[in-house]
Amino acid sequence: GNWLASHPTNDQRLSQITGIAAGYKGNFSDDARARYLQAIEGLNYGESREQGVVRGQNFFHEPLGLTLTAPAGWSFDNNPDELYIINPQGDAAVVMKLIPPNAGKTHEEILRNGFKANQGRTERNAIGGFDATYFVGQRAAEQNQAQPLEVTLINGPGGRTYAFLHAGRDAATLQRNRAALREATASFRAFAAGDRAVARPWSIRTVSMPAGGFAELARRSPLGAQAERQLKLLNGVYGGGSIAAGRPVKIVE
């Protein structure tokens, strides 16, 4: 509570940074700016191919050779060790994890050794053409306490096995979201040649500012609803100011 009360707002932080930056005097000529823009031309913006990229309701990971689609209204949260597909309320999610090779040779071994699954129902099926096992039941936790476990194991591309854990705030939340959780898991498929153009990482380019300014640039941008705000931030005019038509301006494409 106290930490939040003393935490500066974005506007306060921006004002502080602007004040500090104003203390640095120098000759920042058009030539220096042109060299800077030339140096950053083509730099990646946002997610990289190696991390996987989100485009609309789809997640593409070309190096791992996989694609997922989130249910309508759900979103992705990509972390180094796991991927979350989260519902709009933020109280249920599918958590995708890569299973280490030493966890077991079969799905039964992985469930028994890796997840401590001890009683429940197992259902074999195919997802995206890959062998899959759905388990719903219980796992043994510390002090032999039983915990609910709902997970799908999929033998994916490249001989890698993935776990899709269903997580929810409570049993009622899980039940309410079960159909969508299974839909998200069932969207798993191999990365296809046709995905490559869509999954291309964004990069920074320099163009001449059009007559319509940032609003016009935002309409052409792949950045979505926040495009105008992000483009202003990228060009150092988020806190005010403008760039005249015809002047060089950074965009994302």
d(CA 224, CA 242): 21
pLDDT tens digits, residue range 36-59? 777 777 576 667 778 899 998 999
CB neighbour list of residue 109: distance below 8 Å, 6 or more residues apart: 103
Judged by DSSP in three states, 113 sits in: helix
Cβ atoms < 10 Å from Cβ of 56: 9
Give me the DSSP letters along 154-214: EE-GGG-EEEEEEEESSHHHHHHHHHHHHHHHHT-EE--GGGTTTTPPEEEEEEEPPTTHH
d(CA 43, CA 253): 11
pLDDT of residue 238: 78
pLDDT of residue 197: 84
pLDDT of residue 6: 46
Name residue 126's amino acid: A
Residue 82, φ and ψ in degrees, nearest 5: -160, 155
pLDDT of residue 179: 96
Helices (H) and strands (E) in the chain, counts: 7, 14
d(CA 17, CA 36): 21
Query: Which regions in the chain score pLDDT beneath 70?
Result: 1-14, 16-33, 42, 44-46
pLDDT of residue 20: 65
Where do we find the tokens 């090779």?
101
Residues 78/54, Cβ–Cβ less than 8 Å: yes
